[in-house]
Amino acid sequence: MKNLFISDLVNKVGQEVIIKGWVQRKRDHKKIVFLDIRDRSGIVQVIGDEKFKDLNSEDIVAIKGLVKQRPKKLINPKLLTGSIEIEGKEFSLITKAQDLPFDIGKDSINLTLPTLLDYRSLTLRHPKIRAIFQVQETITQTFRQIMKELGFVEFQAPTLVATATEGGAEVFPVKYFDSTIYLAQSPQFYKQIMVAVFEKVFTVAHAYRAEPSVTTRHITEYVGLDAEMGFIDSWIEIMETAELVLKKIIQTVNDKHVDILKMYNINVPKISTPIPRIKLKEALQIIYERTGRDIRQEPDLDPEGEKEIWHYAQEKFDSELIFITHYPTKKRPMYTYPDPDNPEETLSFDLIGRGQEWITGGQRINDYNNLIENIKKWNCNPDNFQIPYLQAFKYGMPPEGGFCIGLERITMNILGLSNIREASPFPRDMERVDIRLKKAVESQL
Amino acid sequence: MKNLFISDLVNKVGQEVIIKGWVQRKRDHKKIVFLDIRDRSGIVQVIGDEKFKDLNSEDIVAIKGLVKQRPKKLINPKLLTGSIEIEGKEFSLITKAQDLPFDIGKDSINLTLPTLLDYRSLTLRHPKIRAIFQVQETITQTFRQIMKELGFVEFQAPTLVATATEGGAEVFPVKYFDSTIYLAQSPQFYKQIMVAVFEKVFTVAHAYRAEPSVTTRHITEYVGLDAEMGFIDSWIEIMETAELVLKKIIQTVNDKHVDILKMYNINVPKISTPIPRIKLKEALQIIYERTGRDIRQEPDLDPEGEKEIWHYAQEKFDSELIFITHYPTKKRPMYTYPDPDNPEETLSFDLIGRGQEWITGGQRINDYNNLIENIKKWNCNPDNFQIPYLQAFKYGMPPEGGFCIGLERITMNILGLSNIREASPFPRDMERVDIRLKKAVESQL
């Protein structure tokens, strides 16, 4: 197997090596050919003679050559391997690529989003796009690591469900033998059930929302970093846990991906300690006072309001992250715990990061009878929730709550991407499941 | 938050503590009440006076009491905390449970599988059932850890797909706005695509099979521990990687879960090094010679054959695991690499563990034109596979292959469970998605 990577070459000056990778770029100067060779670890320049002429973009090659120090004035500071180059001796072609539809050899690729996604299997290879998913991997793995450190147990939540999870209409039906079932909108019910098994649990789960709208912040299949914890003394502990996890994630991305943050010309979000917390009502009042826009009667922040609160948090607290708490009872799901001091409001929170919702969480109703009452208030039939959900409460559920971090949302906002589709390797939306669906329908006519 | 767990009590003899947990069992001796209190970490006996009488199974309580050493003859060696007990002083009820449908207070619960699953939110709490998912967590986390150590990159594969992944009929259709799409039968295409991005990748992905049959070894939603690796020099490297991963998993379960293996009265599978490898043809011949049953013309092992090969491997190699290789070209998916020495056979393998398939893997066709030819041979239309799958090959894919470990299968077989449904927290099959589907259909009439 391949055991030499391009990033290893800086320590091999003067040695003859064989590297394997893709031709990222070729410049043909008649008797001399310059090739940028890419592998997962980096890019290196190879200087070859005429026999290298026939190589083209994305061809996969094994190149034998001598690692040389570059003259000082030719050092490329943008590349990890910018201080070296390879004097190519010979090569063997591993796989020939067909002609590319566009050049992916430059530092950035300038494509419209539809083209970027139409050629996803190609564009994902570009170092700047690939980098998004290195950051995403770090986020996921850091989440799991900190959850384990905090004593949470990981489990696998199912994604096929018999009842639309939260009573809403925005679910995808699945034809399941002779029945119709649904794709889970979240692992919510299952993580609550598992609290009565392991007390503190987490899961990284795919979830599905059939929202019939096309925005820059929604995809139909998303990944949730979900946690749920029992035996809480106060709902504040949930928010504190979310804060701890988030800080660890941001710190780790910052420590590990200096080069990628530089590539995206961005810093990780500024956070104050503790992350500021304001009630939704206060947030709406602040927006009114700052902008004159009066949304004080609304049960939630709108996208414009979320942006304004971000600016406010930066100015007032020097923080790009802020918790908004006490969402109205009417606006939150039926299992949300009402504030005993004011039952119109719930013990719930969202975290707004860089002007978008990253996290949602709160305490849940853990008393069986109260939960049944609330389900009825929401005009749902408790019978539809008995198995498996209400059963867990019938037989004893401690006070509990939890939160969910949207993986694509946080990836998008940490790197400052303008569309959530860029933060999913294979994003699904109303119009696309790899292929453009409308086109697919047409072609079948 | 709760920060004292029952397993911590052995170091607290002579101290007054407050423990929080569920009433696992109560024995009422008039003036004295014996309670077994359970939390995630263990069970401890509490001895209380009459005021503890009203507590019942699954009630959640906080109990204040004194930790005491038990007299030697009363030590319960089966419990981690069997050398101590708590002299209960007072308690507060945290959550009241309703009357249980059956006793879950004993060491084992004797229920039929349907009842076990009808009351899943309750039965999952039983220490012996909960233990299955502690082992499952260890398997998943060990897989990820070893993959990372080997330089693989984790990614999130989508589960919604536009085309039935492998051309088969056993897919679930999803109504997706105005289109019909499908649930992925595996992350196969996506992990291959990602090889051209990160060279070595893995994913823990839910996958779906609409097999219209009810067996003890199939569920409709399962979890695959999937890996794929590029720049291989030989397909043997894939099998070697699978072997390395598997050994690490089994070793870790053995080291970490001595108590659970004892509870299930089982040892982890015996493995010889290297794991023996025989061609399918040889396996079929061996079965014929050992049993007289002639399935030598079959393209695969049947369940009886898999069992026989397990016995054979134990006797011949002192191994409960064995690789079966070189499955016939006709029987494997269209992307499987034919053996250049005999194109009727493929460079593929299954791992049979304790008489069942745990792993499937092999080398894939990485040449674009060969892959298109093969898709046609399988009577499929390459156009349906262009985006995103074939696109990855069009623009250069190195020699590659991979494998998938069935998470529920390996959990089931390591612990010697008799039905795969026991190895999934919320198993889905033809007849059940939490609720029994037929019953659900009836109740809607």
**Would you call B394 an interface residue with chain A, using a CB distance cutoff of 8 Å?**
yes
To the nearest whole angstrom, how far is the Cα of B22 from the nearest Cα of chain A?
Answer: 8
Instruction: Check if A212 contacts B (Cβ < 8 Å).
Output: yes
Asked whether the beta carbons of residue B96 and residue A435 sit closer than 8 angstroms, the reply is: no
Of A1, A140, A430, nearest to B154 by CB-CB distance is A140
B237 touches chain A (CB under 8 A): yes
Contacts of A183 in chain B (CB under 8 A): 174
User: What average pLDDT does the structure give for chain B?
Assistant: 95
pLDDT at B444 over 80: no
Does residue B442 register a pLDDT over 60?
Answer: no
Residue B192 has pLDDT above 80, yes or no: yes
- Residues A44 and A63: their CA atoms lie apart, in Å, by 11
At A79 the pLDDT is 82
Percent over 70 (pLDDT), chain B? 97
Residue A167's pLDDT is: 56
pLDDT value, residue A130: 98
**Interchain CB distance below 8 Å, B137 and A153:** yes
Query: Which domains, ranges and CATH numbers included, belong to chain B?
Result: 6-95 (2.40.50.140), 121-444 (3.30.930.10)
Residues B175, A175: C-beta atoms closer than 8 Å? yes
At B443, is the pLDDT very low, low, confident or very high (cuts 50, 70, 90)? very low
Please indicate whether, in this complex, the C-beta atoms of B197 and A153 are within 8 angstroms of each other.
no
The confidence score (pLDDT) of residue A225 equals 98
Can you give the pLDDT at residue A165?
Answer: 57
Q: What is the 3-state secondary structure (H, E, C) of A52-102?
A: HCCCCCCCEEEEEEEEEECCHHHCCCCCCCCCEEEEEEEEEEEECCCCCCC
Average pLDDT over residues A380-407: 96
Per-residue pLDDT tens digits for B218-256: 999 999 999 999 999 999 999 999 999 999 999 999 999
* DSSP state for residue B247 in the 8-state scheme: H
Token readout for B353 is 């563990």
Model confidence pLDDT, tens digit, residues A110-119: 999 999 999 9
pLDDT of residue B165: 57
Residue to substitute from A18, A63, A121, interface B, most B β-carbons within 10 A:
A121
Which residues of chain A have a CB within 8 Å of the CB of B176?
172, 210, 220, 433, 437
pLDDT score at A443: 47
Taking 90 as the threshold, does the pLDDT of residue A233 lie above it?
yes
Angle, vertex CA B54, rays to CA B50 and CA B58, nearest 5: 130
Chain B: residue nearest A126 by CA? Answer: B197
Residues 90..149 of B with a Cβ closer than 8 Å to A: which? 94-98, 100, 118-122, 124-125, 130, 133-134, 136-137, 140-141, 144, 148
Enter the ipTM: 0.96
Give chain B's radius of gyration (CA, Å). 26
B316-332 tens-digit pLDDT: 999 999 999 999 999 89
pTM reported for the whole predicted model: 0.97
8 Å CB contact between B41 and B91: no
Put simply, the answer to whether A178 touches B366 (Cβ < 8 Å) is no
Chain A residues within 8 A of B437 when measuring between CB atoms: 162, 176-179, 181
Nearest Cα residue in chain B from A101: B395
Element (H, E) at A323: strand A321-325
Which of B181, B223, B391 is facing A122, going by the closest CB pair?
A: B391
Whole-angstrom Cα distance, residue B126 to residue B36? Answer: 13
Of A334, A401, A345, which is closest to residue A195 (Cα–Cα)?
A: A401
Of the partner residues B158, B220, B230, the one whose CB lies closest to the CB of residue A428: B158
Of A2, A199, A428, the CB nearest to B39: A199
A62 shares contact with chain B (CB less than 8 Å): no
Chain B positions touching A178 (Cβ under 8 A) are 437, 441
pLDDT of B15 strictly over 80:
yes
> Exposed/middle/buried for B157, CB within 10 Å: 0-12, 13-18, 19+?
buried
In chain B, positions 32-61, which contact chain A (CB-CB < 8 Å)? Answer: 39-40, 58-60
**What are the structure tokens assigned to A282, written together?**
């206060």
pLDDT at A166 over 80: no
Query: What is the rounded average pLDDT of the residues B268-287?
Result: 97
Query: For residue range A180-210, what is the model confidence (pLDDT) as tens digits?
Result: 999 999 999 999 999 999 999 999 999 999 9
Q: Is the CB of residue B435 less than 8 Å away from at least one CB of chain A?
A: yes
Summarised one tens digit per residue, pLDDT across range A273-332 is 999 999 999 999 999 999 999 999 999 999 999 999 999 999 999 999 999 999 999 989
A27 pLDDT above the threshold of 60: yes
Q: How far is A294 from chain B (nearest CA, A)?
A: 35
The yes-or-no verdict on residue B77 having pLDDT over 50 is yes
Structure tokens at B57: 């199974």
Residue pairs spanning A and B at CB distance below 8 A = 281
Say if A439 is an interface residue toward chain B (CB within 8 Å): no
Task: Mark out the alpha helices in A150-235 (DSSP H runs).
Answer: 188-198
Give the per-residue pLDDT at A445: 41
Distance between CA atoms of A396 and B94, rounded to whole angstroms?
A: 9
Interchain proximity A437–B134, CB inside 8 Å = no
Residues A55-71 as b or e (16 or more Cβ within 10 Å = b): bebbbbbbbebbbeeee
The tokens for A81 are 């391997």
Query: B interface mutation test: which of A22, A25, A40 has the most B CBs within 10 A?
Result: A40
Q: Chain A: residue nearest B197 by CA?
A: A125
| Average pLDDT of chain A, as a whole number | 95
Mean pLDDT of B127-147: 98
- Residue B426's nearest CA partner among A173, A20, A149, A392 is A392
Long-range CB pairs of A81-85, under 8 A, 24+ apart, other chains included: A81/A6, A81/A7, A81/A9, A81/A10, A81/A42, A81/A43, A81/A44, A83/A10, A84/A9, A84/A10, A84/A13, A84/A44, A85/A44, A85/A45, A85/A46, A85/A47
* Least confident among A146-150, B80-84, B276-280, B338-342: B80-84
Question: Taking 60 as the threshold, does the pLDDT of residue A439 lie above it?
Answer: no
Question: What share of chain B in percent tops pLDDT 90?
Answer: 91
B 238-267 residues with CB below 8 A of A?
A: none
**Confidence at residue B166, expressed as pLDDT on a 0 to 100 scale:** 62
Burial class (CB in 10 A: 0-12, 13-18, 19+), A93: exposed
